[in-house]
Amino acid sequence: MTLAPASPGTLDIAAELLTLLGDTATEARPDVQLEALTLAVSADLPVLLWGEPGIGKTAALTHLADSLGLPLTTVIASVHEPSDFAGLPVVGDDPAVQGVPMAPPDWAVRLARTGKGLLFLDELSTAPPAVQAALLRVVLERQVGALRLPPGIRIVAAANPRGSAADGWELSAPLANRFVHLQWAYDHDVVVRGLGGTWPRAGLPSLDAGRLPEAVALARRAVCGLLGARPKLVHQLPNTETRRGGPWPSPRSWEMALRLLAFATAAGASREALSMVVRGAVGDGPGLELLAALDRLDLPDPEDLLADPANAVLPDRGDLRQATLDAVVEAVRNRLERSRWDAAWDVLVRAVDTGAPDLVVVPATTLARLRHNDWPIPPAIDRLTSAVTLSDRAETARAEQAAIRPGAVAAR
């Protein structure tokens, strides 16, 4: 088939059509992924988006840059040489006196001149180990050759899992530990509405200036309290290459988690976004332990409960109530006196009177084992016995039903 020569206006009409297709709007719409991303960007931490090809990682960064009014500089890590990040040696007139400076690439010079922007390191998982090594100072110190990028530059990277990356490599442990890792997935409703012309609006979180000291104090209490109680969490280098390429706890990543927690508190971020960024910094297990420690900061002081058990106010949420009762028993164990032991039984009675009786079974059993032989059994135990017995009977009946009709019980 022979194509007719294009008329002078054909490309102009095509350009107009492309302009109309690219003319989209934004709307305020809850999006946990974007909230987590903007939270980490606001905290000036390097972010690494993990996701399958074609799900919109690059598009999300483009929308973010447009929303923030920042220039976006994209660098495909896999097609660059190590010298493109470490700098090229430039020999001057007298190297013995002046040294040999490492000249930065043009993209770094443009970023430095602009003073602000998003540096997008794409295809990070296809960069060979030598390039990953050269990126270490870029990501952590913002140093490119002899040039230091200004504070207004934020770094975001994207990578595909090794199984779906072209000639993919696992990320080296030193490089992986410098990022907040976010698992990026597409949202059906966002995609459909976006293709219809309206995408969710991305913006930096609004920080409450009045909450900054409180946010810092809370973050330090939570992180230091957890690591003080769990010293083994301070540094845990994973034992497999794949896991080393993701988030894992180290003093560096705990510092990132502390910063993220402070920013999330000052911004009033959602629990879901906080969970994503904290787990993206130190890993799922340690991150969830930090969130649990954060919850426990609001728990009542066990000493206050032991001092006035009749008026004890216990949390309504089951897991927090259980943690409170366990803390009361632990406080008695640490300073075992008969008056404190008796008061702990009164706290357990209070728990039965105001909530689910099954939550007192474990702390009551532990507390009973702490009794000295010459201590009389307190009257409070009689009030607990019936509740605990009923709870045990209910569990036994449920177990029997499960043995008889496992399919029916599982379906409930």
CA gap 45, 277 in Å, rounded: 10
Taking Cα atoms as reference points, which of 160, 151, 113, 155 lies closest to residue 138? 155
pLDDT tens-digit series, residues 352-388: 888 777 888 888 888 888 989 888 888 777 777 665 5
Across 136-157, b (16+ Cβ under 10 Å) vs e yields: bbbbbebbbbebebeeebbbbb
Judge if pTM exceeds 0.95: no
Cα–Cα nearest to 168, from 47, 78, 49: 78
What does the pLDDT average to over 103-111?
89
Residue 303: what residue type? E
Q: What six digits make up the tokens of 17?
A: 């059509």
The predicted-structure confidence for 236-284, as pLDDT tens digits, reads as follows 999 998 899 999 999 999 999 999 999 999 999 999 999 999 999 999 9
Provide the residue count of the chain: 412
- Rounded-to-integer distance, Cα 205 and Cα 224, Å: 25
Q: What is the per-residue pLDDT across 280-292, written as a single tens digit (0 to 9) for each? A: 999 999 999 999 8
d(CA 298, CA 55): 39
Summary count for the chain: helices (H), strands (E):
20, 11
Q: Give the DSSP letter of residue 102.
A: E
254, 214, 246: which is closest to 230 by C-alpha?
254
Is 116 strand, coil or helix?
Answer: strand
Q: Identify the pLDDT of residue 394.
A: 45
Alpha carbon distance, N-terminus to C-terminus of the chain: 65
